[in-house]
Amino acid sequence: MKVFRLDDLDAERAANQGAYLRFLKERTMSAGLYALKAGENDPQQPHGQDEVYLVVSGRAAITVGEETTTVARGSVVYVPAGTAHRFHHITEDLRVVVVFSPPEP
């Protein structure tokens, strides 16, 4: 078993001065914490893996392909591999747990 505490992960991510912290990489999947400040731009490019986002705090819009929706704490979004996507109109600091399958390189 591996157990992670969100506040500890967020502190480690901030200490490394990055928006993303990968905290788990296994044979068939990986997971990370992604954080963007209110008003910040999301520079993501399409990934080669399927993704699931779980919003743990904040508010924003997300566009996946041609579809756009708003997300907040508790929202779960699936993004198919290779699909353009990004968070935008971030009105409250956003923290998102990201699961990739297969694992990100």
| Per-residue confidence (pLDDT) for residue 4, from 0 to 100 | 98
> What CA–CA distances, in Å, run from 86 to 1, 2, 36, 60, 64?
32, 29, 11, 10, 7
Stated pTM of the model: 0.94
Would you kindly state where each structural domain of the chain is located, as residue ranges? Answer: 6-101
Cis peptide bond prior to 43, omega within 30° of 0: no
| Per-residue confidence (pLDDT) for residue 37, from 0 to 100 | 97
Task: Indicate if the pLDDT at residue 2 is higher than 90.
Answer: yes
| Per-residue confidence (pLDDT) for residue 105, from 0 to 100 | 87
Yes or no: say if 97 and 33 are a contact pair by the CB < 8 Å rule. Answer: yes
Tell me what the mean pLDDT of segment 22-39 comes to: 98
Fold classification of 6-101 (topology level): Jelly Rolls (2.60.120)
